[in-house]
A and B are shown apart, each in its own frame.
Chain A
Amino acid sequence: MSTAIQVQSVTKIYAGRTVLDGVCLDVHDGETLVILGGSGSGKSTLLRLMIGNVPYEGGEIHIGHANKSIGKMTAPELEQYRKSLGVLFQSGALYNSMSVFDNVALPLREHTDLPEETIEIMVKIKLELVGLREHSEKMPAELSGGMKKRAGLARAIALDPKILFYDEPSAGLDPVTSAEIDQLIIDLNRKLGVTSVVVTHEMDSAFRIADRMVLLDRGKFVVSGTSDEMRESTDPLVRQFVHGLTEGPLTDRRRAGGYEVDLLGGI
């Protein structure tokens, strides 16, 4: 299987704090890779690095068979790369001053010479795929959380991307809507044959959609495996995270954080 994205020993430092520490990762063509990790583990930062929205200090991120790393791309090369991918942000990130239709039409109007009639047809097709065709004239403020995400997804696939990135697609949604979004991710993956990279910490959702999972902890790569391998892992950290256990290395670390000393001082 060929590699869509290759992350090699990437390091990212924010205000003196190492957020990603030598992370290595391969995303294969056509697969749905789920990046797991607790809050502050660096998973969303890794996603932003792969999109090319955030610069990084060390390592390389190669796309497909390109010899050039994202960090070394020129502005036109980066622009070309970004046109080949779609991103669904955590909040949907719809442009609030535009209707749902205009949100989805924006990349087509910006990056193609298509006439307005063709754009209209294409937008309707994308909205139908996510089940929002009847809501095309609504403004983002009039949509529910799940609808916003679906509209964001329609916009992300407007240019028929080769790679789709999802940042916490199920966060803040009820279980049914969350399952609907997951099904949409699976359908798009099958229908469009795209490579998907999903960042999440919701295990139900991860098990539903993942071909493969990786776990990040404190900016470091911990483990990679299929859903079954992760479920059956004997690694204490993986076990605690995947099964949501209250006892394990993650909670031990928090307890060892010197809370008592901080609270009671020298008493």
Chain B
Amino acid sequence: MTQPSSQPRQTPSAISRAIIAVGRRGIGFVEFIGGMGYLIRDTVSSAPRGLLARRGRRLGWRNLWAQMVRVGVRSIPIVCLVLFCIGAILSLQMAPILKNYGAVSQTANIISIATFRELGPLVSAIVLTGFAGASIAAEIGTMVVSEEIEALEAQSISPIRFLVLPRVTATSLMMVCVAVVGDLMGVGGGLFVASNFLDVSAEQYFRKTFEAILVRDFVTGLIKAGCFGTIISSLACYLGLSVTGGAQGVGVATTRTVVLTIVALITVDLMFTGVFYYFGW
């Protein structure tokens, strides 16, 4: 008869534990990227039925419109305020330095390029992350907890087509629109400070702005904005759909959405800027 071993189980060494922890993190990261990839693939493939097919489009367009209002229209006042302030701040910060070189009027050039290429899309995206991303993650997470997603599946209604597609499409489209408004408000903020406090006339400010801005500055900013919209909404939907563990899980998903989205936005922005720099755009 064999006796059960009385030897205690060997605990892994500190190095093994570190390797295991890194390995788990690595696997988790790969799973996350894979999951996001599947979500985006399924969202794209559900678009024809969701928006064009005879049966799906009735609700598809209604959902899309509701999300566009929720994500875009309602966030415009906040984006306007934030970008106006940023334009004004930039103007005030640069004025003393430019004054030393007798080039205060160059404020318009710098603000317009910075806003159209970078700050307009990025700051609008960060505002939308807090405004729409967090609310999408919380909303979908709550639906998971209250069995609504399971009920949709049981009724043969794809949650990707019914929930994710309108949110991703609406956020991507409205992000472009919001970025345009944000760009204009940034320039407006700079104009307000320059014309009131820096002895630069409005006419001079506009002339300098139009001289500095090229179509490609505007277009590259909008391309970024569209991609930022897709990142915000797909991350929010993915993390919302991954919720486990009730109300606490919803809270965790909402926080993770905001943090991960901001990290992703800045990283992707850097990549875009690097690519545009390389091609001389």
Residues of B within 8 A of A91 (CB): 146-147
The residue on B at minimum CB distance from A159 is B155
Residues from chain B with Cβ under 8 Å of A83 in the complex:
155-156
The answer to whether B147 touches A90 (Cβ under 8 A) is yes
On chain A, the residues within 8 Å of B155 by CB distance are: 82-83, 87, 106-107, 110, 155
A89 contacts B151, C-beta separation under 8 Å: yes
Give Cα A29–Cα B137 distance, bound, in whole angstroms.
42
Which residues of the partner chain B approach A94 to less than 8 Å between Cβ atoms?
148
Residues of A within 8 A of B55 (CB): 110-113
Q: Nearest Cβ distance between residue B62 and chain A, in whole angstroms? A: 9
A105 nearest CB across to chain B (Å): 10
Residue of A nearest to B157 (CB): A110
B243 to chain A, nearest CB (A): 15
Contact B148 A95 (CB under 8 A): yes
Beta-carbon contacts of A91-118 to B below 8 Å, as 1s and 0s?
Answer: 1011111000000001101111100000
Q: How large is the interface on A (under 10, 10 to 19, 20 to 34, 35 or more residues)?
A: 20 to 34
Q: Mark B124-167, 1 if CB is under 8 A from A, else 0.
A: 00000000000000010011001110111111110000100000
A-B contact pairs, 6 of them (CB 8 A): A53-B153, A53-B154, A80-B156, A87-B154, A89-B147, A90-B147
B41 at the interface (CB under 8 A from A): no
Q: Report which residue of B55, B58, B143, B156 has the largest number of chain A beta carbons within 10 angstroms of its beta carbon.
A: B156
* Docked-complex contact B56 and A89, CB < 8 angstroms: no
Contacts of A187 in B (CB 8 A): none
| Contact partner, A107, options B54, B142, B157, Cβ 8 Å | B157
Q: Do B148 and A93 have beta carbons less than 8 Å apart? A: yes
A-B contact count (CB 8 A): 60
CA distance A12 to B54 in the complex (A): 38
Interface centre among B142, B148, B152 (most CB of A within 10 A): B148
Do the beta carbons of A109 and B151 come within 8 Å of each other? no
Q: Could you tell me if B146 and A96 are in contact, using CB atoms closer than 8 angstroms?
A: yes
Whether the pair B156, A109 counts as a contact (CB closer than 8 A) is no
Interface majority SS (helix, strand, loop, mixed), chain B: helix
The verdict on A93 contacting B157 (CB below 8 Å), with A109-B59, A110-B56 known, is no
The complex places the Cα of A192 from the Cα of B154 at a distance, in Å, of 20
C-alpha spacing A94/B153, complex, angstroms = 13
Report the separation of the CA atoms of residues A111 and B157 in the bound assembly, to the nearest whole angstrom: 9
Chain B residue with Cβ nearest A79? B156
Distance in angstroms from A56 CB to nearest chain B CB is 16
Instruction: Tell me whether A186 is interfacial, beta carbon within 8 Å.
Output: no
Picked from A87, A106, A112, the residue with its CB within 8 Å of the CB of B157 is A106
| Complex CA–CA separation, A178 to B146 (angstroms) | 21
Q: A53-B150, A96-B142 are in contact. List 18 more A-B contacts (CB 8 A).
A: A48-B150, A83-B155, A87-B151, A89-B147, A89-B150, A91-B147, A93-B148, A93-B150, A93-B151, A95-B143, A95-B152, A96-B143, A106-B59, A106-B155, A110-B55, A110-B155, A110-B157, A112-B55
Residues of A within 8 A of B54 (CB): 113
B142 CB contacts on chain A under 8 angstroms: 96
Q: Which residue of B lies closest to A103 (CB)?
A: B151
Name the residue of chain B whose CB is nearest to the CB of A85: B154
Instruction: Indicate whether A51 reaches chain B with its CB closer than 8 angstroms.
Output: yes
Which residues of B49-102 are within 8 A (CB) of A?
54-56, 58-59
Q: Closest Cβ of chain B: how far from A188's Cβ, in Å? A: 17
Give Cα distance in the complex from A109 to B157, angstroms.
11
Pairwise interchain contact B156-A82, C-beta atoms closer than 8 A: yes
A93 to B147, CA, bound (A): 5
Which A residues are in CB contact (< 8 Å) with B146?
91, 93, 96
Residues on B with C-beta less than 8 A from A95 are 143, 148, 151-152
Residues B58 and A82 in contact, CB atoms below 8 Å apart: no
Within 8 Å CB of B59, what residues of A? 106, 109-110
Bound CA–CA A93/B150 (angstroms): 8
Contacts of B162 in A (CB 8 A): 110
| Chain A positions 55 through 93: 1 when the CB is less than 8 Å from some CB of chain B, otherwise 0 | 000000000000000000000000110110101011101
Give the 5 A-B CB pairs with smallest separation, nearest first: A93-B151, A93-B147, A82-B156, A87-B154, A79-B156
